[in-house]
Amino acid sequence: MTTFDADLGDIVGNELHKHGVTVACGRTLERIEPRSDGSLRVVGSGGLDEPADVVLVAVGVRPDNDLARGAGVRVNDRGAIVVDRRMATGIDRVWAAGDCVHTHHVLLDTPTYLPLGTTAHKQGRIAGINAVGGDASFAGSCGTQAVKVFDLVAARTGLRDIEAAAAGYDPFSTTVDVDDHKAYYPGATKIVIRTTGDRRSGRLLGVQMIGAYGAEISKRIDIAAAALHAGASVEYLNDLDLSYTPPLSSPWDPVQVGAQAWDRSWRVHSRH
């Protein structure tokens, strides 16, 4: 879970262990061999030697840019096609969108590479509008992601400390452990929320959240994503008129409890 802070990734690791999954990180896969019974043997560094019925190899995404380069379209050092916010390539009437292009990011000055389905759909819509004579501009990604792992959901949006610092922000984060809904109503579960903001400006930079499937983690992260698109401060989250009913939230939604913890810490810090 390299797109989450390591300690939050551990929560996901624990969920995998709990369901009988062996997690072996930091190994180099050396070979996959057929075995006499038709199954597979996976061998790697550190003594990795596991039988398998199916091997899924997930090694990331690389833009297939042959067609683009052949047409004289510029690609960046990762091989991603360089486009402007209108998804124009610089060659007349040639537009590009999706996993093959670099991505404007609402919190970064320079484009990044985020090959995600959500981004591809949005970029494709913008390219399509412009291709038929319209005038639309891609608003940008903010790195929103969600994943369900057995009974957990992990979601994030924006930048983590390490990402924000690399981009020139002065970030810090606070973490809360808060009920998804009023504890007096049955079935409440804890959500871990890490809120990241900029020390200089108070600007919201990102949120990471892990909790039970059913705790509306992924759409709670979207509240923060909507605030990032508005260029909002952390404090702004507290202004939002979010829905509340005891089985589903609290008068201050968990995402606001996270914002208040950050804000308190920031104010104390700012006084010294």
> Is 245 among the residues that bind a second copy (CB under 8 A)?
yes
One character per residue 99-118, x = contact with a second copy (rule: CB under 8 A): -------x---------xxx
> Is 252 among the residues that bind a second copy (CB under 8 A)?
yes
* Residue in 16, 42, 82, 120 binding a second copy, rule: CB under 8 A: 120
Q: How far is the CB of 224 from a second copy (least distance, A)?
A: 9
* Residue in 178, 211, 253, 262 binding a second copy, rule: CB under 8 A: 253
Q: Whole-angstrom Cα distance, residue 205 to residue 39? A: 47
Q: Whole-angstrom Cα distance, residue 200 to residue 252? A: 26
Per CB under 8 A, which of residues 198..237 are in contact with a second copy?
A: 213-214, 216, 218-223, 225-230
> Is 244 among the residues that bind a second copy (CB under 8 A)?
yes
Rg (the chain; Cα; Å): 22
Q: Whole-angstrom Cα distance, residue 136 to residue 85? A: 8
Q: Residue 130 carries which side chain, given as an amino acid letter?
A: N
Q: Give the closest residue to 101 by CA, choosing from 74, 126, 130.
A: 74
E strand map for the chain: 29-34, 40-44, 49-52, 145-149, 152-158, 171-179, 190-198, 204-212
* Strand arrangement of the beta sheet that strand 204-212 belongs to: 145-149, 152-158, 204-212, 190-198, 171-179
Give the range of 45-53, 60-68, 140-148, 164-172 binding a second copy by CB under 8 A.
Answer: 140-148
* Residue in 89, 157, 208, 233 binding a second copy, rule: CB under 8 A: 157
- Contacting positions for a second copy (CB under 8 A): 106, 116-122, 125, 139-148, 153, 155, 157, 213-214, 216, 218-223, 225-230, 238-245, 247-249, 251-253
